[in-house]
Chains A and B, each alone.
Chain A
Amino acid sequence: MSRGIHQETELGGRRGARLPRIESAGLDGWLVRLFERIDEDNLAWLGALARRCEAALGEDLVDLVPSYTTLLVTFDPLGLAPEVARARLEALLADLTPDPAAGTGQVHELPTWYDPRVGPDLEGVAGHLGMSVAEVIDCHAGREYRVFALGFAPGFAFMGLLDERLEVPRLSTPRRRVPVNSVAIAGRQTAAYPAVTPGGWRLLGRTTARLFDRDRDGFSLLKVGDSVRFVPVDRATFERHGGDMTPVEKHS
């Protein structure tokens, strides 16, 4: 995939600044900025960096938050002085190499019923894009997506990149309650809602996958670096797998 297909913004005034960079993120954290642009190729580097951080910071490591272009490293500043942590990160960056394994996580198939009854924006999106509903479904289900980041809610995976033809803006007024397991798109990204939350993405359908489970090892079905494919299923299959039929209007 070519670089720079999509980017939310440029880092204004900082373009051309040398990367990678280690930036202050408060008393107990450093933000390692590896890239400026969103790209699937970033994942192998970010994954490698996360693994090396775990080894280099050991017990003083508190949390790692990988995202599209960065890794936030949080540590216990009493166990590890911030300047020492920074020096370790610098040393680590000096000989960092991408980890192909980190760039290719698990592959998941999310059974999805694409239907206006559970995907109330499906027809509107098709109309807006000048496509048929079937074409929208084929286009969305026809591509393997990568998980760039988790955030917004536990287990909420930001996935991309969507086919350019499916690019639509967010709703101007977000829904107050998006039903759990809704499959949605916005910009060049797609996601499935692990819980009932507010949300402004356009809903195309619903999956039967259990996205976040406190009793499962690892809790979240999807992790940064994983690959995801949405597999269209019919209503009967959706219901057989315990799909929730509650119409969106009843939720929002």
Chain B
Amino acid sequence: MTPEDTVIGLRVERAGPLALLQDGGRFGVRRLGVTQGGPADLHGWAWANRLAGNAWGTPALEITFGGLALVAERDLSLAVAGADLAATLEGKPLPLWQPVRVREGQTLVFATPRNGLRAYLAVAGGFRAEPVLGSVSCVVREGLGGFDGHGATLATGDRLAVSSDAGRRLEAGVAPVPAPPDYTRPAMLALLPGAQVADFTGDSLFAAFNRPWKVDDRADRMGVRLSGPRLACRIGSLVSEGIGLGAVQVPPDGQPIALLNDRQTIGGYPRLGALTPLAASRLAQCLPGQEVRLAATTGERALGDYRRLRRSLER
């Protein structure tokens, strides 16, 4: 990042509850206790970037729940994918999952969730911030990343830096864009069984994969708690060990927690296994009270799904 290729692109007219800058995540420092970060919904984030003509990993804005108003400080090309937060441009519905031109002075509002929880806003060339520990991903709890470098969420009055290329026109009709997902439908979450899966009782295993689970209101970027039948494991706790993205841990209260991007790096509860990256993304779009189910999958299928996503994004 150099001052010459960075300009102010947007001003925060009204900050919502949570809007965070996210690149692909912070890697290589988890051994120091630093969390991964990155977009909670990899799928929506990647498509917003793709539609804005950006490479994988370009910083985009993750807007949770809505309540955010932005004013363009110059002409911009951008794209919004992921959740439908009833976004408007100058009071008119903002087209989602496609490139959009925004004129200087125009107001972009993200209101409330209509389909999903997290929208991704990418501008052509990307948002700009100084990386911290190799990434701009904003982790509030650790005080790392974001536009200020210290993990601050967007605040009213903030002026957001973008690439000086953000005004360039985008070609429409790039790559076959997927139909916007219906995040309101009950989600089937693919899970790769883990090493302790056989330590759960038979009843509990049956319940885990055959009963509906409700997304609890204790849900954030660290993890999402699922409420339902109480799962019993013959292991109470383990010596703490590294935890991967999507790990589904079961504390002694028997209610599973799926761990997402901002999870702690190590932990000691037994795990059913790990959600696939796409299942973790799907869960991140669920609102509290929504119904989800867990479905065991194989590494081969999970890899196939992930490969297809990455290939569909290639330019």
Please list the residues of chain A having a beta carbon within 8 angstroms of any beta carbon in chain B. Answer: 7-9, 11-14, 21, 23-29, 31, 33, 36-38, 50, 62-72, 74, 77-78, 81-83, 149-156, 158, 195, 212, 214, 219-220, 223-224
Interface string of B297-315 (1 = CB under 8 A from A): 0010011001100100000
Q: Given A63-B27, A150-B32, check contact A27 B239 (CB 8 Å).
A: no
In the complex, A214 Cα to B139 Cα: how many Å?
Answer: 14
Shortest A189–chain B CB gap in Å is 10
Contact B31 A66 (CB under 8 A): yes
Contact partner of A65 among B132, B266, B299, CB < 8 A?
Answer: B266
Among the listed stretches B9-17, B90-98, B187-195, which one makes contact with chain A, having 4 or more residues with CB under 8 Å of it? B187-195
- The answer to whether the Cβ of B144 comes within 8 Å of any Cβ in the partner chain is yes
- The answer to whether the Cβ of B218 comes within 8 Å of any Cβ in the partner chain is no
Given contacts A24-B194, A27-B302, A67-B242, 13 further A-B contacts (CB under 8 A): A11-B235, A27-B276, A27-B299, A28-B244, A62-B28, A64-B30, A78-B307, A82-B299, A83-B299, A150-B33, A151-B265, A153-B141, A156-B33
Please list the residues of chain B having a beta carbon within 8 angstroms of any beta carbon in chain A. Answer: 27-34, 36, 132-133, 141-144, 192-195, 198-199, 234-247, 264-268, 273-277, 299, 302-303, 306-307, 310
A residues in contact with B239, CB < 8 Å: 7-9, 36-38, 67-70
A residues in contact with B276, CB < 8 Å: 26-27
A residues in contact with B144, CB < 8 Å: 154, 214
B residues in contact with A7, CB < 8 Å: 239
B residues in contact with A150, CB < 8 Å: 31-33, 265-266
Contact partner of A29 among B32, B238, B244, B310, CB < 8 A?
Answer: B244
B residues in contact with A9, CB < 8 Å: 235-239
A residues in contact with B143, CB < 8 Å: 195
Contact B241 A27 (CB under 8 A): no
Contact A72 B237 (CB under 8 A): no
Contact A154 B266 (CB under 8 A): no
B residues in contact with A23, CB < 8 Å: 194-195
Shortest A192–chain B CB gap in Å is 13
In the complex, A149 Cα to B243 Cα: how many Å?
Answer: 13
Q: 10 shortest A-B CB distances, which residue pairs? A: A72-B242, A65-B242, A26-B274, A151-B266, A23-B195, A26-B244, A150-B33, A70-B241, A220-B32, A29-B244
Contact B306 A31 (CB under 8 A): no
A residues in contact with B303, CB < 8 Å: 27, 77, 81-82
Shortest B297–chain A CB gap in Å is 10
Shortest B266–chain A CB gap in Å is 4
B residues in contact with A33, CB < 8 Å: 195, 241
In the complex, A155 Cα to B247 Cα: how many Å?
Answer: 22
